[in-house]
Chains A and B, each alone.
Chain A
Amino acid sequence: MRYSFLFIILLLIGCSSGTTPVEDAVEAKILHYGNGTEPQGLDPHIVTGVPEHHLLLALCEGLTSSNPRGGESLPGSAASWDISDDGKVYTFYLQENGKWSNGDEVTADDYVWSWQRILTPSLGSQYPDMLYYVQNAEEFHNGTIDDFSNVGVKALNSKTLEVTLKEPTPFFLGLLSHYSTWPVHKPTVLKHGTMDDRNGQWTRPGNFVCNGPFNLKTWELNKKIVVDKNPLYWDADIVELNEIHFYPISNEMTEERMFRAGQLHVTSTFPSNKCEPNIKEINPNIKIHPYMGTYFYRFNTANEALDDVRVRKALAYSIDRQKIVESVTRCGQIPAYSFTPPGSNGFYPDTKIPYDVDLARNLFKEAGYDSGEEFPVLEILFNTSEGHRKVALAIQQMWQQNLGINVELVNQDWKVYLSREMIGDFQVSRAGWIGDYEDPNTFLDTMRPNRGNNKTRWDNYEFDELLARANATLDQEERYKILMEAERLLIDEMPIAPIYTYVRVYQLHEDVKGWYPNILSHHHPKYIRIERD
């Protein structure tokens, strides 16, 4: 009996040899994509995460498409557009041969209906504010007005869409590459539910209809999602992949092993434990490029320990950012000396945050604390995660050593952490912000007074006014000058202490071509090819 068991094991092991998925893909043109967590869903008006975004990039398309090499937006389902002189009226001319995956024409009415859908309160979308720049959109969403025909989006004819904005919004085109502004197919949605039913069944394989380069083929929960090429897509000629297989792998080490075993072409991340200074020479498959995101610590300025700007600056100046990115995060992160990541659509903040322990100590004394013991115990709140813990431990040590203060670490699970931040039950909390579109506004806007994402209780009306002015300025150079002032003001007041700029670290197989690094990390599947040199 013992022997037969052994025999079975050997048999099973023997059967595991053969070609790998990556090998087979050269012929079959199938991309194997490690996609992080299982997507919540596929409805562009309901989902909020990055794994969902990767899927939606394959399945659907908006008016504009973000440029894979970064910078100006490219045509998407709109072939071209006109902008009025005052910058408030956009006229979009949709692709002549733009079709839904079931053959229906993509029309301007589709967009009007879709935007009404996401702005309908009972749908419960979490991203309606992407469209708040449109005239009366916010008022429709919060119920001030009832009639959607008063909202600034109209179908002039079946292929022409006119959008009227509240104010000239220089970054509006970039905003349209965010999936919350994308269209959904009205007959399909209504066939499987109502307009505002979150639990409608239209996103199931077999029901799903959208206007992107790929179509939903199968969806096995927690196993795999398969999309295949949509021949009716307006730009189908340039699409070379036949299928994409998305794997929900939440464990980064498992994903790394799967990549090594030839099961994946691209991973969503890379274990930081394996990062070394010269990792890219050792492993040419590793890609590291700047990502539009900032890792920072929030100060609760309403807390008496932190309401003095000198204290906040002292804390910020006692963090050795270089040491953190070299020894703690180790994967090529970049120390951050501004809130907006440098290079965001050509915006390079010139703010500085020195690592200067003497200056920090002096500021501390000026604020009235002769020694660290006089300062109350400081608590750093973060959500349970190895990475956050390591950074917090390092910063705890730095503050204790450099300023002599007592620091405690509190890690809470994700939801508790969020709720404590929301109600202001924290002193210092770890935070991260990823840009929704490529423009500094996506960062600076969050620090305006009364913004839900502010959470620091720092309400500065000078800052607010600068941003309002910038948003009304059409000339990029002028506008950036104003934004630079805003950034400087922010760093001078230090309600937040930037720590490092994110980088995307992941593995990419050499067979994958047409994959361009860009700061938003949008990799449009329509350009990707599988070729072996």
Chain B
Amino acid sequence: MSQSSSLWSDALRRLFKNKAAVAGAIVLLVLIVLAAFAPWIAPYPYAYQNLDLGASPPSSVHLLGTDVLGRDLLSRILYGARISLLVGFIATTVALIIGVSWGIVAGYAGGKIDSAMMRIVDILYGLPFIIFIILLMVIFGRNLWLLFLAIGAVEWLTMARIVRAQVLSLKNQEFVLAAQAMGVSNFAMFKRHLLPNILGPVAVYATLTIPQVMLLESFLSFLGLGIQPPMSSWGTLIKDGVESMEEYSWLLIYPGLTFTVTLFALNFFGDGLRDALDPKTSE
């Protein structure tokens, strides 16, 4: 089926033309490498305190300065990258798995099943999830896995809607009808025909969900409900920075900058991906 492969190469070509998206991709790659190798790169262990030093501005010994307990900011940002990116990827994966499965089943099954499943999505859409998450975190404490689940559970709804819409539009296309006529099994249908065509929007939406998730996690950390000390995500670092932003502005600027740049990169890349795959909105 050469049709789909030229679709992909077209998309890639358009993607590379989008400078912002390319820049975003590069930044992300660098970040992921840094985060992965953080334990080897970081100049200090993230929990190491130097009480005598206290907070100090950037210097040759501590490239980005230290916080009130004398912990090296650069190291903490690197380790924070691991946590924030991890939360972003895992929670998005949870959302992906639930949302994509839901959307495929609803879209493909159609009729009453579809109706019922999307009704549930509609209902859940109307719930104030932030409120539930806060309540859950307050009640059940700061369990990292609970955090992933809770965040993922909020984001899967839109994914389900997108996938279902995609499946619906594909279902009635000729090549699917032809395959059905030929007696291809449902499972093979998913694998060979539907999945590759769904991949596009799913990839786009996943890339755009990751920053949402990271924002949500940092918001929870800000409220004191996120990651436990001494591990810190970027959210915790920003929260600490806000508290002392007048005296020790570097504690806010560097984590804030890193976080923002990462989110920009993710969004530019995601936007670029979407523009590349959807010719209508990019030409």
Partner of A328, one of B47, B51, B230, B248: B51
Q: Is B49 an interface residue (CB 8 A)?
A: yes
Q: Is B138 an interface residue (CB 8 A)?
A: yes
Chain B residues, Cβ within 8 Å of A328: 51, 69
Mark the stretch among A78-86, A142-150, A367-375, A405-413 that contacts chain B. Answer: A405-413
Q: What residue in chain B is nearest A327 (Cβ atoms)?
A: B51
Bound-state CA distance A273–B244 (Å) is 6
Tell me whether A409 and B229 are in contact (CB under 8 A): yes
SS of A interface (majority): helix
Tell me whether A386 and B228 are in contact (CB under 8 A): no
1/0 contact string of A104-130 vs chain B (CB within 8 Å):
000000000000000000000000000
Q: Which residues of B contact A (CB under 8 A)?
A: 47, 49, 51-52, 54, 68-69, 138, 141-142, 224-225, 228-230, 240, 243-244, 246-248
Cross-chain pair count, CB within 8 angstroms: 48
Known: A273-B247, A393-B69. A327 touches B52 (CB 8 A): yes
Tell me whether B243 and A253 are in contact (CB under 8 A): yes
Chain B residues, Cβ within 8 Å of A160: none
Tell me whether A393 and B49 are in contact (CB under 8 A): yes
1/0 contact string of A390-417 vs chain B (CB within 8 Å):
1011101100000000000111110010
Interface positions, chain A 343-391, Cβ under 8 Å from B, are 384, 386, 389-390
Q: What residue in chain A is nearest B245 (Cβ atoms)?
A: A253
Q: B245 to nearest A CB, angstroms?
A: 9
Tell me whether B247 and A397 are in contact (CB under 8 A): no
Task: Please name 10 pairs of A and B residues whose Cβ atoms are closer than 8 Å in the assembled complex, sorted by A.
Answer: A253-B246, A273-B248, A386-B240, A389-B229, A392-B229, A393-B49, A393-B69, A394-B49, A397-B51, A409-B229
Tell me whether B247 and A394 are in contact (CB under 8 A): no
Partner of B230, one of A253, A271, A409, A413: A409
Bound-state CA distance A396–B230 (Å) is 10
Tell me whether B229 and A323 are in contact (CB under 8 A): no
Q: Is A223 an interface residue (CB 8 A)?
A: no
Q: A37 to nearest B CB, angstroms?
A: 16
Chain B residues, Cβ within 8 Å of A396: 230
Tell me whether B138 and A413 are in contact (CB under 8 A): yes
Known: A386-B243, A410-B228, A412-B141. A273 touches B68 (CB 8 A): yes
Known: A393-B69, A394-B69, A410-B228. A274 touches B51 (CB 8 A): no
Chain A residues, Cβ within 8 Å of B68: 273, 390
Chain A residues, Cβ within 8 Å of B225: 413
Interface positions, chain A 305-358, Cβ under 8 Å from B, are 323, 327-328
Bound-state CA distance A328–B246 (Å) is 18
Tell me whether B229 and A273 are in contact (CB under 8 A): no
- Extra inter-chain contacts (10) besides given A390-B68, A416-B141, CB under 8 Å: A253-B246, A327-B51, A327-B69, A328-B51, A386-B243, A390-B69, A393-B230, A410-B228, A411-B142, A413-B138
Tell me whether A411 and B51 are in contact (CB under 8 A): no
Bound-state CA distance A416–B225 (Å) is 13
Q: A409 to nearest B CB, angstroms?
A: 6
Chain A residues, Cβ within 8 Å of B246: 253, 274
Interface positions, chain A 238-264, Cβ under 8 Å from B, are 253
Chain B residues, Cβ within 8 Å of A327: 51-52, 54, 69
Tell me whether A409 and B228 are in contact (CB under 8 A): yes
Partner of A397, one of B49, B224, B243: B49
Bound-state CA distance A419–B243 (Å) is 29
Q: What residue in chain A is nearest B230 (Cβ atoms)?
A: A393
Bound-state CA distance A209–B225 (Å) is 42
Q: B249 to nearest A CB, angstroms?
A: 12
Bound-state CA distance A411–B137 (Å) is 12
Chain A residues, Cβ within 8 Å of B240: 386
Chain A residues, Cβ within 8 Å of B49: 393-394, 397
Chain A residues, Cβ within 8 Å of B248: 273
Chain B residues, Cβ within 8 Å of A274: 246-247
Bound-state CA distance A397–B70 (Å) is 12
Which A-B residue pairs are the 7 nearest by beta carbons?
A327-B51, A273-B244, A384-B224, A397-B49, A389-B229, A413-B138, A409-B229
Partner of B228, one of A271, A273, A390, A411: A411
Bound-state CA distance A409–B228 (Å) is 8
Chain B residues, Cβ within 8 Å of A416: 141
Q: A415 to nearest B CB, angstroms?
A: 8
